[in-house]
Amino acid sequence: MKLNKKTLIAMLIASAFATGCGSLKYNTGFEIDSSTSQAEASPGVEVAYPEWYNEDLEDDDVNLYAVASEYSKDMQFALDKASLSAKRELASNFSSHIDAMLKDYATEVGDLDTTVIREIDRTTKLVVARVNLIGVQRTNMSIVHSGEGGYRAYVKLKYTPDSANAFILSEVRKNAKLMTKFNASKRFAELEEGVALIEEQKIEELQILSGDLPPLVE
């Protein structure tokens, strides 16, 4: 069935809204995690934590990770606080990721000067504020009873920074000084090509949905 323009636009708006609201989703029916370990936090004080929480936290080539723990008398509030703390840590990691990436582009074609460093810092802040880590996934979660009668929540979050490449490219293109610096960078050219390819795939998918193109056959 061929979709008219109004229907297609409505689908795009609904899709964008769903993506924007999907940063973190919380369930209300939690089970208290009993698979915890004991750690000596201070003399005479034992703290229960899930085994995955104490594992070495290393970012891989694709994803960034962050963990956090928060306490509250209310179980849901403890989880919300822990998720927010972990997301703040992810934002810091994401900022460092963008800063390093842009500096790599700059050093590929020459030395870093004060002006370029300042523009990279400015662009990094703009990207982090604009992206707001849409697409964060919660990979682990545990809630344990606290000795004070409340709950302690443990959360691990994952974020794929490549999902923000279009935002990064958009902000860089608005900055004439960085564009002048990055024009000779092969790695920046690869970023542009990757974003362009993804945009082409999105257009093809929309055309298939609207009936303008036949479905792809593998």
Q: What is the pLDDT of residues 114-128, one digit of tens each?
A: 999 999 999 999 999
- Tokens 């090509």 -> residue: 193
> What are the sequence ranges of the domains in the chain?
5-210
Helices (H) and strands (E) in the chain, counts: 6, 5
Q: Which residues contact 124 (CB under 8 A, 6 or more apart)?
A: 95, 98, 99, 102
Coil, helix or strand for 156? Answer: strand
Q: Residues 129-175: pLDDT tens digits?
A: 988 888 899 999 999 887 778 899 999 999 999 889 999 999 999 99
pTM of the complete model = 0.69
Percentage of residues in the chain with pLDDT exceeding 90?
52
Coil, helix or strand for 134? Answer: coil
Beta bridge partners of 49: 37
Coil, helix or strand for 64? Answer: strand
From the list 161, 178, 169, 163, the residue with the least C-alpha distance to 122 is: 178
